[in-house]
C-alpha cells in the first residue's frame, strides 16, 4: 500500500471503483469487466497528470485531484438544469441524462427519424453487450489519457447512437448531460457516448453539458465516434457547465474512407475545462474539420488539446479555434497535426485566433506540425491580440458608443464560428449567450450580422 | 459652424499641426490641400476625435460648442462625419445593421424616434442609389473584400444615411479611377445643403473639378499658408506646392 499524497488522490477513485464493481447486480460481460479493470489499473499506475507532463504543462488538475468526489446519484430532477442550458426548439430526439443516468422524465422522442437508433448505453450493455464490444474504448483507448481511463473504469450509462447506412437524418439528435449535485458535496459523473455513422449516412448530433449553479462537480466525459465510408457527421458540443464545475472531456474520432466529420466545440462554462480531441484518418479521401470557440471570464481556465492524425494519404483537415478571454481567465490551445510517413497529398490547415479583452487575461497557443511525409500541403498560424483600435474608432466615429463598439467587434470576432453552426436552436442559444455576456449588448442587438 | 484657432496637435510625440486657423460657415465647402505630410489627414482625424491624436494648444468650436471635449461618438451624434481615407474592414458586422445602429444612436441623441427595420431598409435603398451602390454590398460585412472604389462609395453612402452637418472628407479621391471619382463626387454634391458644411481634404486638384469648393486652403507644415477661391486649386495644379513652401507663413490665415 502506498502512502504518498498522489496515491491518496487515486485512492478515492480506487475505493470507489471497488464499491462500484461490487454493487453491480448483473455481472458484466467478461470483456467489459476486463476493460474496466484494465482501465482502473492504468489510472492507479499513472495517477492524475501533473504539470510536469507535456500535455498538461499549462493546466493543473490539482484541484480535481484534491477533491474527494462521490459518484453522482440518481433520482433527482434535472428540469431546472435543463432550462439553464437555454436550448429550446429541437424537433429531433432529445435524450437527457441526469447525473449520468438516462432521464425518462426529460427525454423526448421527437420526430421519427428513419435509420436512427438512439439507446442508453446501460441498456445496450445489459441486453446486447456484444454490439458494443467492437466499439467501446476502441477509438478512445489509444488516447493514452488517464481521464479517459477513469471514464472507462466507471462506464455505466450514456448514449449509443447508430445511424444506419445510407440514412439521412433530417433533424439533429440532441444528447444532454446534466449534473445536479447537493450543496457542498462534490460529485462526479462519467458520461459515455458512442456514435456510429453508418456508410454513406448523413447526420447532425449535439452534445450539451450543463449543471445547476453553485455546486462543485466533475464531468468526466468520453465520446467515441466512428464515421464509416462516405458518411458525413456534424458533431457539436456545447459545454455550459456551472461556474464552479470541472469538465474534462475526450472526443475520439475515427474516419473511414471518404468520410466527412466536423466538430464544433463551444466552451462557455466551468471553472476548469479541458477538451482532448483526437481525429484519426483511417481511410483515404477523408475530410475532417475541427472548429472551436471558447469564452472565458473571471478565473475560468479553458484548455483544448487537439490531435489530427493523418495516418493515410489523400485526406484534408481544417481547424479553426477562437478564444475570447476576459477578466483573469486563461485559455490554452494546443493543436497537433501529425502526418505519418507515406501520408502523401495530405492537406492540413490550422488556425488559432485569440482575443484578449483585459490585461490579466492570458492565452497559450501552441500550433504544432509533425510532418513525416514529403508531398503534403500544411499550414498553421496563431494570432493573439486585443480589439483593433482602428475598427473601434471607425465604429465610434459613426456614433456608436465605445462599450457598444467593443461588444460589436467582440461578437464579430466570434461570428464566423457562430454562423457555421447548422443547428438553429444551438446557434440561437450561443448568440443569446454572447449578447448577454457583452456589455451594451442590447443596444447593438440588431447590429449582429 | 466650425472655428479652429491656433490648433497644435501631436501624433505620438510628433507635432504635426502647428497653429492652424480655419473658419467654416454653414453650407460652405472648403478644400484643404497640401503636400504629403503637411497635416491634412491629421486635421481630419483630430476633428473626428481619433485616440492618439493629441491637441496640445488651441481650440475648436463646432456650432458654438467645444468640439475637443466630446468623445468621438458624441461628435458623430452632434453631426460630425469623417469619410476615411482608409475605411476599416470589419468582418462579421453587416454594413446595413452597423449603419442602423449608428443611425439610431444619432437619432436617439437628437430626441428622434428610432427607425424600425422597414423604414430603415427603405432609407437604405434610396441612399444606396445615390452612390450607385449594389444591394449586395449593403448586406455584406463592413468593407470586407470591397474594392478601393467600393470602400469610398460606402463612406459616402454612410454619410448620406447619417446626414451630418459637418462632413470631413479625407482624401476621398485617392485610389479612384475617373468613373468611381465621378460617382463619389456626384454623391457628395447631392449632399450639399445650406445647413451642411464640408471640409474636403485632398492632395490633388482633380477631385475639385467635380466637387467645386467655395474656398481653398493650402496646408504646409501644419499651418495654413494660403487661402483663396476655387481658382487657387488650379494654380496649385500648375505650379505645385513648392512655391508656397518657400514663403514664410502668414501670421493668420483662414477664411478670406
DSSP letters spanning A28-86: PPHHHHHHHHHHHHHHHHH-S--TTSGGGTT---HHHHHS--EEPPSS---HHHHHHTT
- Residue (of A117, A24, A18, A8) closest to A68 by Cα position: A8
Eight-state DSSP code of residue B140 = S
Domain C-terminal end among A266, A283, A300:
A283
Reported confidence tier of residue B253, pLDDT bands at 50, 70, 90: very low
> Range of A424's domain?
387-449
What chain B residue is nearest to A445 in terms of C-alpha separation?
B101
Residue A90 in any domain: the answer is yes
**Shared-domain flag, residues A265 and A395:** no
User: A401 to chain B: which residues are within 8 Å by CB?
Assistant: 73, 105
User: B91 to chain A: which residues are within 8 Å by CB?
Assistant: 412, 415-416
Reported confidence tier of residue A441, pLDDT bands at 50, 70, 90: low
Contact A201, A164 (CB under 8 A): yes
How many helices (H) and strands (E) in chain B? 9, 12
Contact A96, A187 (CB under 8 A): no
Please name the residues in contact with B38: beta carbons below 8 A apart, sequence gap of 6 or more. Answer: B219, B220, B221, B222
**Concatenated DSSP letters for B148-197?**
HHHHHHHHHHHHHHH--SEEEEESTTTT--HHHHHHHHHHHHHT-BTTBE
Please name the residues in contact with A232: beta carbons below 8 A apart, sequence gap of 6 or more. Answer: A197, A201, A202, A203, A259, A260, A261
CATH of B2-246, one of 3.40.50.720, 3.90.1150.10, 3.40.50.300, 3.40.50.150: 3.40.50.300
**Shared-domain flag, residues A391 and A276:** no
pTM of this structure = 0.88
Domain C-terminal end among A261, A283, A305:
A283
Identify the residue among B12, B93, B116 best suited for mutation to test binding to A, counting A beta carbons within 10 A and taking the highest.
B93
Residue A13 in any domain: the answer is yes
Cβ within 8 Å, pair A395-B82: no
Q: Which residue has the cell 492524475?
A: A48
Nearest to A447 among B77, B82, B100 (CB): B100
**Shared-domain flag, residues A262 and A148:** yes
Please name the residues in contact with B23: beta carbons below 8 A apart, sequence gap of 6 or more. Answer: B2, B3, B4, B254, B255
User: A448 to chain B: which residues are within 8 Å by CB?
Assistant: 93, 97
Would you tell me which residues 392-431 of chain A have a C-beta closer than 8 angstroms to some C-beta of chain B?
393-402, 404-405, 408-409, 411-416
Residue A37 in any domain: the answer is yes
Nearest to B97 among A389, A396, A446 (CB): A446
Tens of pLDDT along B137-182?
888 899 999 999 899 999 999 999 999 999 999 999 888 889 889 9
- Residue (of B220, B222, B221, B215) closest to B254 by Cα position: B215
Contact A248, A274 (CB under 8 A): yes
Please name the residues in contact with B178: beta carbons below 8 A apart, sequence gap of 6 or more. Answer: none
Exposure string for A290-311, b = 16+ CB within 10 A, e = fewer = bbbbbbbbeebbbbbbbbbbbb
| Structural domain boundaries in chain B | 2-246
Contact A410, A324 (CB under 8 A): yes
**pLDDT for position B250:** 52
For residue A236, is pLDDT > 90? yes
Eight-state DSSP code of residue A4 = S
Reported confidence tier of residue B233, pLDDT bands at 50, 70, 90: confident
Alpha-carbon gap: A397 to the closest alpha carbon of chain B (Å): 5
Residue A240 in any domain: the answer is yes
Torsion angle defined by CA atoms of residues B52, B58, B62 and B65, in that order, rounded to the nearest 10 degrees: 100
Provide the ipTM: 0.94
Cell triple for A339: 502526418
User: B107 to chain A: which residues are within 8 Å by CB?
Assistant: none
Q: At what angle do helices B95-109 and A402-419 cross, to 10 degrees?
A: 160
**Shared-domain flag, residues A43 and A178:** yes
Tens of pLDDT along A387-401?
999 999 999 999 999
Cβ within 8 Å, pair A393-B50: yes
Interface check for A447 against chain B (CB to CB < 8 A): the answer is yes
CA–CA separation, B189 and B185 (whole Å): 6
**Could you give the percent of chain B with pLDDT greater than 90?**
70
Residue A353 in any domain: the answer is no
For residue A375, is pLDDT > 80? yes
For residue A444, is pLDDT > 60? no
**pLDDT for position A1:** 42
- Mean pLDDT, chain B, rounded, equals 91
Eight-state DSSP code of residue A249 = E
Residue A211 in any domain: the answer is yes
Nearest to A449 among B76, B94, B105 (CB): B94
**Shared-domain flag, residues A273 and A407:** no
Q: Total domain count for chain A? A: 2
Amino acid at each position: 500500500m502506498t502512502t504518498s499524497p498522489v496515491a491518496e488522490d487515486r485512492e478515492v477513485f480506487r475505493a470507489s471503483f471497488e464499491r462500484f464493481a461490487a454493487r453491480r447486480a448483473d455481472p458484466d460481460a467478461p470483456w467489459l469487466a476486463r476493460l474496466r479493470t484494465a482501465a482502473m489499473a492504468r489510472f492507479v499506475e499513472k495517477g492524475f497528470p501533473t504539470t510536469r507532463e507535456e500535455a498538461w504543462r499549462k493546466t493543473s488538475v490539482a484541484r480535481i485531484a484534491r477533491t474527494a468526489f462521490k459518484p453522482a446519484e440518481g433520482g433527482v430532477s434535472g428540469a431546472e438544469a435543463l432550462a439553464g442550458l437555454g436550448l429550446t426548439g429541437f424537433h429531433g430526439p432529445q435524450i437527457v441524462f441526469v447525473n449520468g443516468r438516462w432521464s425518462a422524465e426529460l427525454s423526448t422522442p421527437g420526430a421519427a427519424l428513419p435509420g436512427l437508433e438512439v439507446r442508453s448505453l446501460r441498456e445496450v450493455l445489459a441486453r446486447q453487450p456484444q454490439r458494443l464490444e467492437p466499439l467501446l474504448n476502441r477509438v478512445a483507448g489509444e488516447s493514452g489519457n488517464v481521464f479517459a481511463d477513469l471514464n472507462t473504469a466507471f462506464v455505466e450509462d450514456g448514449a449509443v447512437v447508430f445511424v444506419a447506412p445510407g440514412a439521412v437524418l433530417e433533424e439533429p439528435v440532441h444528447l444532454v448531460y446534466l449534473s445536479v449535485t447537493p450543496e457542498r458535496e462534490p460529485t462526479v459523473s462519467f458520461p459515455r457516448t458512442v456514435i456510429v455513422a453508418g456508410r454513406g449516412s448523413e447526420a447532425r448530433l449535439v452534445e450539451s453539458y450543463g449543471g445547476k449553479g453553485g455546486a462543485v462537480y466533475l464531468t468526466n466525459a468520453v465520446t467515441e465516434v466512428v464515421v464509416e465510408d462516405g458518411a458525413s457527421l456534424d458533431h457539436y458540443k456545447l459545454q455550459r457547465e456551472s461556474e464552479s464545475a470541472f469538465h474534462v472531456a475526450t472526443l475520439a474520432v475515427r474516419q473511414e474512407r471518404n468520410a466527412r466529420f466536423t466538430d464544433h466545440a463551444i466552451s462557455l462554462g466551468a471553472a476548469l475545462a479541458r477538451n482532448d480531441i483526437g481525429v484519426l484518418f483511417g481511410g483515404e479521401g477523408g475530410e475532417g474539420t475541427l472548429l472551436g470557440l471558447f469564452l472565458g471570464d473571471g478565473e475560468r481556465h479553458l484548455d483544448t488539446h487537439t490531435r489530427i492524425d493523418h495516418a493515410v494519404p489523400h485526406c484534408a483537415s481544417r481547424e479553426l479555434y477562437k478564444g475570447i478571454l476576459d477578466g483573469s481567465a486563461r485559455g490554452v490551445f494546443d493543436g497537433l497535426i501529425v502526418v505519418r510517413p507515406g501520408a502523401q497529398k495530405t492537406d492540413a490547415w490550422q488556425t488559432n485566433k485569440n482575443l484578449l479583452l483585459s490585461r490579466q487575461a492570458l492565452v497559450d497557443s501552441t500550433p504544432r506540425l509533425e510532418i513525416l511525409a514529403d508531398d503534403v500541403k500544411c499550414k498553421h498560424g496563431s494570432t493573439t491580440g486585443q480589439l483593433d483600435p482602428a475598427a473601434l474608432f471607425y465604429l465610434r466615429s459613426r456614433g456608436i458608443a465605445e462599450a457598444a463598439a467593443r461588444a460589436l467587434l467582440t461578437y464579430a470576432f466570434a461570428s464566423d464560428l457562430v454562423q457555421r453552426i447548422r443547428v438553429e436552436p444551438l446557434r440561437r442559444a450561443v448568440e443569446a449567450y454572447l449578447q448577454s455576456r457583452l456589455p451594451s449588448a442590447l443596444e447593438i442587438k440588431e447590429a449582429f450580422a | 459652424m466650425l472655428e479652429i484657432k491656433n490648433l497644435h496637435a501631436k501624433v505620438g510625440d510628433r507635432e504635426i499641426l502647428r497653429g492652424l486657423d480655419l473658419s467654416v460657415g454653414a453650407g460652405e465647402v472648403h478644400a484643404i490641400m497640401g503636400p504629403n505630410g503637411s497635416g491634412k489627414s491629421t486635421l481630419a482625424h483630430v476633428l473626428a476625435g481619433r485616440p492618439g491624436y493629441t491637441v496640445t494648444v488651441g481650440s475648436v468650436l463646432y456650432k458654438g460648442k467645444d468640439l475637443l471635449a466630446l468623445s468621438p461618438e458624441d461628435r458623430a451624434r452632434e453631426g460630425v462625419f469623417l469619410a476615411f481615407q482608409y475605411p476599416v474592414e470589419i468582418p462579421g458586422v453587416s454594413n446595413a445593421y452597423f449603419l442602423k445602429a449608428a443611425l439610431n444612436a444619432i437619432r436617439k441623441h437628437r430626441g428622434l424616434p428610432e427607425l424600425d427595420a422597414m423604414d430603415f431598409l427603405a432609407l437604405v435603398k434610396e441612399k444606396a442609389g445615390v452612390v450607385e451602390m449594389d444591394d449586395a454590398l449593403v448586406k455584406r460585412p463592413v468593407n470586407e473584400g470591397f474594392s478601393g472604389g467600393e470602400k469610398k462609395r460606402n463612406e459616402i453612402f454612410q454619410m448620406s444615411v447619417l446626414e451630418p452637418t459637418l462632413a470631413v472628407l479625407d482624401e476621398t479621391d485617392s485610389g479612384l479611377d475617373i468613373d468611381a471619382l465621378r460617382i463619389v463626387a456626384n454623391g457628395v454634391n447631392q449632399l450639399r445643403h445650406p445647413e451642411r458644411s464640408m471640409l474636403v481634404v485632398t492632395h490633388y486638384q482633380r477631385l475639385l473639378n467635380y466637387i467645386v469648393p467655395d474656398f481653398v486652403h493650402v496646408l504646409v507644415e501644419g499651418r495654413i499658408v494660403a487661402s483663396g477661391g476655387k481658382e487657387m486649386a488650379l494654380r496649385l495644379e500648375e505650379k505645385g506646392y513648392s512655391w508656397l513652401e518657400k514663403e514664410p507663413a502668414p501670421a493668420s490665415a483662414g477664411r478670406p
